[in-house]
A and B are shown apart, each in its own frame.
Chain A
Amino acid sequence: MNARDTILARIREALRVPAPLPHLKSRNAQAAAVPAAAGGHAGLTVLPLDVATPWLPDGGDSPAEQLQLLTENLEKLRATVVQVADAQAAAEYVARLAHDRGWGRVAYHDHSLVGPLAAALPCETYRVDAPACDKRALESCDAGITTCEALISQTGSLLVSSATGGGRGLSILPHVHVVVATLDQIVPTLGDALHQAKERHAGRLPSMLSFITGPSRTGDIERILVLGAHGPKELFVILVG
């Protein structure tokens, strides 16, 4: 037997004796688990989102609450959040940032929100998806501008994808990551963001979907927090609308 068949046979053999349910504290969880377990398998299709969401951290009910939570969470993570009126204002903000920081080259990808920002920059730009990204060129960039698929108020996370966010490298290799998004992209929970991604990319998942929660960080030296371990040291979130 090859390795695959041996391992699968061992698994089938091992599972012939059922394991008891874990010691659960809540009635809801038991109510969901017991009939499923009795049905011969767990089959807890309802549990994670429909039952568990009310137990997880709050994502806010109204759009205003969600925006406030998102901003608070991002600031706690030491990201910079800016809310601007329109694309024009966003472009001005990023141009000023590029000027103040003395950026020489900024990477971006083709997108209706990102394009105008790149066009207004006072420095050299590098478009990563025209058509393929040269990693050495990307490495020489001071910042990367991308859009995202969703912003999650519950945790202050952004969801970026390789299909709609300029590939894999753009949001991780440059020293500064600038994300531009619209207010209607805010969703309350991680579950909502995952649902949305599944629907949007049904049948053809992007090769990478990444939740980004603040600038890159490490606590490896004496458990002291340092930002910018390998990914971006700074994260700017520009909300348009």
Chain B
Amino acid sequence: MIAHPSDLPRLAKKKFLHDAAEHVRDTSHRSFVRKALGGYYTSRDTQKARFRDWEQARDAASLAKWSAVNRLDELLPRFVANFEANGGQVHWARTAEEARDIVLNLLRAAKAKAVIKSKCMTSEEIHLNAAMEEDGYGVVESDLGEFIQQLRGEPPYHFVFPCMHVRRDEISDLFQKNLGTAPTDSPEELTMIARRHMRQLYVDADVGITGANFLVAETGQISITENEGNARLTAALPRVHIAISGIEKVVEHLDDLAVLLPMLATAGAGQPMTCYNTLYAGPRKDGECDGPEEMHLVLLDNQRTAILADPEQRDSLHCIRCGACLNVCPIFKNVGGFTYGTTYQGPIGSVITPHLRGLADWNHLSGASSLCGACTDACPVRIDIHHHLLHNRRNAARTAPSRWERLGHKLFVMVARRPWLFATGGAVFRKTLGLVKAVRPPLVRNWLATRDLPAAPEKSFRAEWRSRKDDILHERS
């Protein structure tokens, strides 16, 4: 998706810096998000402790994904053959636009009147809802968080917890305005409002759209993970089921899920297992009493093969979208999910978005990191996330070094090669450092806003060395 007009270069970066500064100042928002994540740390640690060896389980999960992604040429066709043998229909999409067209054509063919959707990040990536609405199809997001975000007219704040930034009173107001319900401050009652509202919509819908968490090559099943039961309903009641998935979701064996499903739940939400983990093998079979008549799967590339072509960062395709790296990221917790301006927020989003949308305009996300490595430690499939942020910085510097950086390096080389100039420059610098601190000229003002300048030493290192050289060398010998 080309999300930024080329005549407005660096728009994404400007927006990021602006929004980040704004959010960091909003302490009530920050403490709300921190509080919401507080319970996560406790339950995640409880569930991790139930693993007999979490680190070795991470090895197994990592290898299962590594072995699948590195044999995608063999496993993707195997998955497709088995999925088709199960009665499913596969559609290939090179780009977001192709994927949107495929879904719209399927809706036309199904003569869809009402569409229900469960949470699907690839559909956010291809901006499906907007395209559907443009074509006159109403669509209802059935996941509670996605439903709230749809009513608010906002994208998800966090790709696992879409409305974690919204207070219950805001949700109550939203439901009052849109659904005409009585105000309440109980999360339980708010959830029941959505439950009651959605029930008839599941029954009436003729097409259900879902995502997919894993594509199992050996059996041709797709696996969907969810807590609410909305994906189960979306794939049970409508006449047509359409699933949208990235091509990288393949695993080789059904057994791989014995490792990946509990790890996804524990790392992502601190659960032993997500409430519903469901494997679909095509539409309703003979002898079954319900289920859709047709099942379609849209396989989306949308630059994933570009990541695949970079062996250094290929492991970012191992991502199972658990969201653990967002939950532990100090940057995410301070700047918030919307600041990223991406479909996939947080550390993993900062790694893959420059590949999906272009390094030139999205490299600033590589700087949205303290390089603390909390994301890498949290990743259940051992993606080297924080090093990939450095790799992106290096790649950006190689392909399009900034003018100021180049000028700075040239200047430094010129000075460093002339000892007399180096000495004079140093002397001038020592004398004027205090002045810089006092005046705060525009060039360094941003840098000084969050940092302190040390006091300049009296003498240069070389002068110091000359005066103390004899003593030091004498002591040593």
A11 at the interface (CB under 8 A from B): yes
Q: Tell which of B104-112, B185-193, B391-399, B456-464 binds the partner.
A: B185-193
A26 closest partner in B (C-beta): B56
Could you tell me which residues of chain A, from 1 to 49, have a CB within 8 Å of some CB in chain B?
2-4, 6-8, 10-15, 17-26, 28-29, 32-33, 36, 41-45, 47-49
**B223: min CB distance to chain A, Å:** 9
B247 at the interface (CB under 8 A from A): yes
Known: A15-B308, A22-B382, A219-B269. A191 touches B70 (CB 8 A): no
A71 at the interface (CB under 8 A from B): no
Structural contact, A216 and B229, CB atoms closer than 8 A: yes
Structural contact, B233 and A173, CB atoms closer than 8 A: yes
Structural contact, B50 and A205, CB atoms closer than 8 A: no
Could you tell me which residues of chain B, from 246 to 298, have a CB within 8 Å of some CB in chain A?
247, 252-259, 261-262, 269, 271-285, 287-291, 295
Q: Which of A2, A77, A162, A198 gathers the greatest number of chain B CB atoms within 10 Å? A: A162
Structural contact, A55 and B290, CB atoms closer than 8 A: no
Structural contact, A13 and B309, CB atoms closer than 8 A: yes
Q: Which of B168, B192, B276 gathers the greatest number of chain A CB atoms within 10 Å? A: B276
Q: Tell which of A90-98, A111-119, A228-236 binds the partner.
A: A228-236
How far is it, in angstroms, between the C-alpha of A230 and the C-alpha of B200 when the chains are bound? 11
Could you tell me which residues of chain B, from 69 to 86, have a CB within 8 Å of some CB in chain A?
69-74, 76-77, 86
Q: Tell which of A60-68, A131-139, A178-186 binds the partner.
A: A131-139
Contacts of A3 in B (CB 8 A): 92-94, 98, 301
Structural contact, A54 and B52, CB atoms closer than 8 A: yes
**A232: min CB distance to chain B, Å:** 7
Contacts of B254 in A (CB 8 A): 194, 198
Contacts of A99 in B (CB 8 A): none
Structural contact, A226 and B191, CB atoms closer than 8 A: yes
Structural contact, B279 and A172, CB atoms closer than 8 A: no
Q: Tell which of B58-66, B120-128, B400-408, B440-448 binds the partner.
A: B58-66
Structural contact, B262 and A229, CB atoms closer than 8 A: no
Size category, B interface: 35 or more
Could you tell me which residues of chain B, from 138 to 187, have a CB within 8 Å of some CB in chain A?
142-145, 148, 161-164, 166-168, 171, 187
Structural contact, B52 and A22, CB atoms closer than 8 A: no
How far is it, in angstroms, between the C-alpha of A11 and the C-alpha of B80 when the chains are bound? 15
Structural contact, B258 and A24, CB atoms closer than 8 A: no
Q: Which of A48, A52, A221, A231 contacts B190 (CB 8 A)?
A: A221
Contacts of B291 in A (CB 8 A): 162, 167-168, 207-208
B350 at the interface (CB under 8 A from A): no
B37 at the interface (CB under 8 A from A): yes
Contacts of B40 in A (CB 8 A): 223
Q: Which of A6, A24, A139 contacts B199 (CB 8 A)?
A: A139
Q: Could you tell me the dominant secondary structure of chain A's interface residues?
A: loop
A58 closest partner in B (C-beta): B52
Contacts of A41 in B (CB 8 A): 67, 70-71, 74
Structural contact, A191 and B255, CB atoms closer than 8 A: yes
Q: Which of A15, A25, A167, A217 gathers the greatest number of chain B CB atoms within 10 Å? A: A15
Q: Which of A10, A206, A208 gathers the greatest number of chain B CB atoms within 10 Å? A: A208
Contacts of B230 in A (CB 8 A): 229-231
Known: A4-B92, A162-B288, A229-B144. A223 touches B229 (CB 8 A): no
**A77: min CB distance to chain B, Å:** 8
Structural contact, B262 and A231, CB atoms closer than 8 A: no
Known: A11-B72, A206-B288. A213 touches B308 (CB 8 A): no
**B149: min CB distance to chain A, Å:** 10
How far is it, in angstroms, between the C-alpha of A4 and the C-alpha of B163 when the chains are bound? 36
How far is it, in angstroms, between the C-alpha of A10 and the C-alpha of B67 when the chains are bound? 18
* 0/1 string, B299-326, CB within 8 A of A gives 1: 1010001101101101100100000000
Contacts of A20 in B (CB 8 A): 311
A103 at the interface (CB under 8 A from B): no
Contacts of A52 in B (CB 8 A): 56-57, 60, 258-259
A85 at the interface (CB under 8 A from B): no
**B234: min CB distance to chain A, Å:** 9
Structural contact, A48 and B256, CB atoms closer than 8 A: yes
* 0/1 string, A137-161, CB within 8 A of B gives 1: 0010000000000000011110000
How far is it, in angstroms, between the C-alpha of A112 and the C-alpha of B386 when the chains are bound? 56
Structural contact, B290 and A22, CB atoms closer than 8 A: no
Q: Which of A51, A139, A211 contacts B261 (CB 8 A)?
A: A211
How far is it, in angstroms, between the C-alpha of A77 and the C-alpha of B64 when the chains are bound? 28
Known: A18-B70, A222-B167, A229-B228. A194 touches B258 (CB 8 A): yes
Contacts of A232 in B (CB 8 A): 229
Known: A157-B273, A212-B276. A217 touches B94 (CB 8 A): no
Contacts of B166 in A (CB 8 A): 221
Structural contact, B63 and A213, CB atoms closer than 8 A: no
Known: A8-B73, A8-B76, A223-B37. A155 touches B262 (CB 8 A): yes
How far is it, in angstroms, between the C-alpha of A234 and the C-alpha of B374 when the chains are bound? 37
Could you tell me which residues of chain B, from 213 to 231, have a CB within 8 Å of some CB in chain A?
219-221, 227-230
How far is it, in angstroms, between the C-alpha of A109 and the C-alpha of B290 when the chains are bound? 12
Q: Which of A17, A43, A162, A217 contacts B227 (CB 8 A)?
A: A217
B19 at the interface (CB under 8 A from A): no
Contacts of A131 in B (CB 8 A): 289
> Which residues in A have some Cβ–Cβ distance to B below 8 Å?
2-4, 6-8, 10-15, 17-26, 28-29, 32-33, 36, 41-45, 47-49, 51-58, 73, 77, 109, 128-129, 131-133, 135-136, 139, 154-157, 162-163, 166-169, 172-173, 189-191, 194-195, 198, 204-224, 226, 228-232
Besides A206-B288, A211-B276, A221-B168, 19 more A-B contacts (Cβ < 8 Å) are A8-B73, A15-B70, A15-B71, A41-B74, A44-B252, A54-B53, A131-B289, A135-B237, A162-B291, A168-B284, A207-B283, A209-B221, A212-B275, A219-B269, A220-B163, A221-B166, A229-B194, A229-B227, A231-B276
Sort A-B residue pairs by CB-CB distance and give the 10 closest, nearest first.
Answer: A231-B229, A42-B67, A229-B228, A191-B258, A52-B60, A29-B59, A168-B236, A14-B309, A220-B145, A10-B305
| 28 intermolecular pairs with C-beta atoms under 8 Å apart | A3-B94, A8-B76, A11-B305, A11-B308, A15-B308, A24-B59, A24-B63, A24-B382, A26-B53, A28-B59, A33-B63, A41-B71, A49-B255, A131-B289, A135-B237, A172-B236, A191-B258, A198-B254, A205-B220, A206-B288, A207-B87, A208-B280, A213-B274, A215-B275, A216-B228, A218-B227, A220-B161, A230-B228
